[in-house]
Structures are given as C-alpha cells and as structure tokens.
C-alpha cells in the first residue's frame, strides 16, 4: 500500500490522459466491459510509469515509500524523503509540481 501511496500523485499526472479516457468511457457507456481498450491503456501506462520511476528515481522512491511504511503512512513524517523523491521526478522524468496537472 505504501508503494502506491508514494507514487500516486506522480502516477496521476503521468497517466492523466489514459485515466481520463477510461473514466469518460465508463461514464458514457455505463458499462466498464465496453471500455476494455481504454483499461488496457491505463494498465500499460501504469507499468510504463513505474518502470521509468525504477530506472530514474529508484533510490528516492524506495526511501520515500519505506518511510511511509514505517510511519504508518503519515505523510507529514516523511517530508524529507518526499522532497528528494519529488525533486528527482521533476528533474529526471519531466513531471511538474503543479497539482493542476492532475486535477480536472
């Protein structure tokens, strides 16, 4: 769980287009079974994101999720590891620190 919590914000930004397309499809068609192709794109994007995260920021990501794991997922206790992780993602993966890139 801590791994997903640690990567959630950046995953949301990285895969926003695929996630939005899947959610719009589910809403429009009222049947997730009709959105299998969109769902496959969400899965592929998630795999790609975590692979790039591993390739570029593995040490920072690991330190952050381990901090979350040992601190009962209380984010405020892990600000130092979060900053190092965020900085790495911003620099090496080209993501921004702008929450507006994630929110609708």
List per-block mean pLDDT (blocks of 10 residues) for the chain, which spans 104 residues. 90 95 95 94 97 97 94 84 95 80 50
Q: How many residues does the chain have?
A: 104
Give DSSP secondary structure letters for 55-71: HHHHHHHHHHHHHHHHT
Q: What is the pLDDT of residue 6?
A: 92
Q: Note if the pTM is more than 0.75.
A: yes
Q: What is the pLDDT of residue 56?
A: 97
């Amino acid at each position: 769980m801590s791994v997903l919590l640690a990567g959630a914000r950046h995953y949301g930004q990285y895969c926003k287009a695929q996630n939005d397309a899947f959610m719009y499809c589910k809403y429009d068609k009222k049947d997730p079974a009709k959105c299998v192709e969109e769902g496959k794109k969400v899965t592929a994007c998630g795999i790609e994101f975590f692979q790039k995260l591993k390739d570029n920021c593995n040490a920072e990501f690991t330190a952050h999720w381990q901090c979350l794991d040992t601190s009962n997922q209380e984010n405020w206790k892990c600000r130092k590891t979060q900053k190092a992780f965020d900085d790495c993602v911003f620099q090496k993966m080209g993501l921004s620190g702008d929450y507006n890139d994630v929110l609708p």
